[in-house]
């Protein structure tokens, strides 16, 4: 009879423990917070992105790494090169930078770190550059170097377009050769 009392006591103690612990909050009964929207929806390495305008390639962005955010149509890219094309698929410009931020919805590109923008009309070098592609305006509040026809201009507060057909800067210094017929004061 002693043996049966111990088994019965053990059995009742086990059932009591299961009932007590089963009435508490379950490990499976937890709430999870919403996904942090600061996290990218996609991260890719060694990628090329083709952007189209109508039926032609508008530009190709190549990068060693990108982070894409689907909901906001934005992406961050590292070690970037962007090649733009005209209507006849000729290279229009090359932009390279350490990092870029692209807002695809606004058609806006911000390039940061060792920025070089090249067109047939010249080369712009800066620490940062912003490109409003809808209005075709490029601007930078940083120090900028413009190289054109062997001449070098350095200044601040650049404003130009993607063809570098005009340039506005402040606090300008220059290096190069000026011919007498080109001098217009």
How confident is the model over 76-88, as a mean pLDDT?
Answer: 94
pLDDT band at 148 (very low <50, low <70, confident <90, very high): confident
- State the pLDDT at residue 153: 87
> Residue 164: which of 122, 125, 111 has the closest Cα?
122
The class of domain 42-176 in CATH terms is mainly beta
Residues 6+ apart with CB under 8 A from 132: 107, 108, 138, 139
Q: What Å distances lie between residue 26 and 16, 18, 19, 23, 30, CA to CA?
A: 17, 12, 12, 8, 8
User: Each residue of 88-128: pLDDT tens digit?
Assistant: 899 999 999 999 999 988 989 999 999 999 999 999 999 99
Residue 21 has pLDDT above 70, yes or no: no
- State the pLDDT at residue 25: 60
Residue pair 129/111 in contact (Cβ under 8 Å)? The answer is yes
User: Each residue of 31-67: pLDDT tens digit?
Assistant: 666 656 678 888 999 999 998 888 899 999 999 999 9
């Amino acid at each position: 009879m002693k043996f049966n009392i111990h088994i019965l006591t053990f059995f009742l103690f086990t059932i009591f423990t299961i009932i007590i612990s089963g009435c508490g909050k379950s490990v499976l009964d937890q709430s999870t917070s919403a996904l942090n929207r600061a996290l990218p929806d996609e991260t890719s390495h060694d990628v090329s992105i083709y952007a189209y305008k109508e039926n032609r390639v508008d530009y190709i962005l190549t990068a060693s790494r990108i982070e894409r955010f689907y909901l906001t149509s934005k992406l961050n890219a590292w070690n970037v090169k962007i090649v733009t094309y005209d209507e006849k698929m000729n290279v229009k410009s090359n932009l390279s930078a350490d990092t870029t931020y692209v807002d695809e919805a606004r058609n806006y590109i911000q390039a940061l770190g060792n920025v070089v923008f090249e067109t047939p009309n010249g080369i712009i070098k800066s620490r940062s550059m912003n490109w409003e592609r809808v209005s075709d305006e490029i601007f930078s509040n940083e120090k900028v170097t413009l190289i054109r026809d062997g001449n070098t201009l350095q200044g601040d507060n650049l404003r130009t377009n993607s063809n570098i057909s005009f340039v506005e800067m402040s606090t300008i210094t220059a290096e190069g050769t000026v011919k007498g017929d080109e001098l217009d004061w």
